[in-house]
Amino acid sequence: MPSAEDIKQRIEAALPDASAQVEGADGVHFQAVVTSPAFAGKTRVAQHRMVMDVFAGELGGSIHAMALTTKTPS
């Protein structure tokens, strides 16, 4: 089962200049706050999809749920 740290590293490796804060101790439910300049100019839905795509096939399966907040660096 992935740890919050695993999830954080995968998000940061996949998205340009992203920083992620991830919580979730049970290995299947996570909460992530992701900041990346790559989100600029995109709708929230598009931003969320960019993060969800990192875990395509795992969400709803081995990862039950991820509550997501996306931000662009201020």
* Segment 19 to 48, residues that bind another protein, using CB under 8 A: 43-45, 48
Would you say 38 or 59 has its CB closer to another protein?
59
Which is nearer to another protein, 13 or 57 (by Cβ)? 57
Residue 64 in contact with another protein, rule: CB under 8 A: no
Task: Find the shortest distance in angstroms from Cβ 1 to another protein.
Answer: 21
Residue 34, C-beta contacts closer than 8 angstroms, at least 6 positions apart: 11, 15, 18, 19, 20, 51, 68, 69, 70, 71
With residue 65 as reference, give the H or E element that holds it: strand 65-71
